[in-house]
Amino acid sequence: MSIPVDRAPARSATRDLAQIAVFAALIVVLGLPGQITLGSAGVPITLQTLGVMLAGALLGWRKGALSVLAVIVIGLALPVFPTGRTTLTSLAGPTAGFLIGWIPAVIVIGLLTALIMPRYRVIPGLLITIFGGIVVIYTFGVAGMLLRTDLTLTAAIAANGVFVPGDLVKAVVTAVVAAQVHKARPGLIAPLRRQSSTQA
């Protein structure tokens, strides 16, 4: 007599790992076009923050954070960041705070997105992405610049103002894409309220 085996958890784990790997690869690929450096602060414009925003909005905070961490770990051995930089060379520069800010950013976006689920709408999603993908990342980025350069707080904030329009475009793209994906594939992110009630 054979004992039935529930393979659902294994399938779920495999699916989760695949999603994490796909978004880690997406973040790396978005860095391939390179970077544009504006201003005297040397802060680069790249598309990789778009991947971070999408990871939080589509995968949630846990899988999104694992995707970002996977990129950072891979970057210890391979130059996965623009201009051939590795994780260590990125962390050694004045813009290290921006890379570090990816982790709290994807967590914030994922958690706040779970609060508005199961119905993802563009405007709330956009506000969430702006807060997590811009405010949070810039907070860490500016803090890193204050530690690594001689800039004052005002100067550090002003040096990053030129990047805000581009990041706003990334936030809009993220919100629009997330709305379409969640409509087509409901259940990618479980509502936070449901998770709380289930645990209770």
Distance CA 75, CA 194 (A): 36
Report pLDDT for 37. 55
Q: Using 50, 70 and 90 to split pLDDT, how confident is the model at 32?
A: confident
191: left (phi over 0), alpha (psi -120 to 50) or beta: beta
Is 4 inside a domain boundary?
no
* pLDDT for residue 195: 45
DSSP E strands, the chain: 36-38, 43-45
pLDDT single digits (tens) 67-95: 999 999 999 999 999 878 999 999 999 98
The least confident of 28-37, 70-79, 171-180 is: 28-37
In a domain, 181, yes or no: yes
Model confidence at 200: pLDDT above 70: no
In a domain, 2, yes or no: no
Give the pLDDT confidence score for residue 31 in this predicted structure.
87
CATH code of 40's domain: 1.10.1760.20
Question: What average pLDDT is seen over the chain?
Answer: 88
Q: Which whole number is the average pLDDT over 117-122?
A: 95
The DSSP result for 119-163, as a single string, is: S--HHHHHHHHHIIIIIIHHHHHHHHHHHHSS--HHHHHHHHGGG
User: What pLDDT does residue 8 have?
Assistant: 58
Q: What angle do CA 136, 137, 141 make, to 5 degrees?
A: 120
CA-to-CA dists, residue 163 to 51, 169, 170, angstroms: 16, 10, 11
Give pLDDT tens digits for 135-169. 999 999 999 999 999 999 999 999 888 889 999 99
In a domain, 154, yes or no: yes
Given a contact cutoff of 8 angstroms between Cβ atoms, the answer to whether 113 and 60 are in contact is yes
Q: What pTM value is reported for the model?
A: 0.86
C-alpha–C-alpha distance, residues 184 and 135, integer Å: 29
Confidence at residue 84, expressed as pLDDT on a 0 to 100 scale: 84
Report how many domains make up the chain. 1
Instruction: Indicate whether 104 belongs to any domain.
Output: yes
**Residue 75 CA to its chain's centroid (Å):** 16
What are the tokens at 194?
Answer: 């449901």
Per-residue model confidence (pLDDT) at position 36 = 57
Whole domain around residue 29: which residue ranges? 12-199
- Domain membership of residue 3 (yes or no) is no
Specify the higher pLDDT residue, 192 or 200: 192
The answer to whether residue 175 is domain-embedded is yes
Give the closest residue to 128 by CA, choosing from 193, 195, 61.
61
Residue 137 in domain: yes
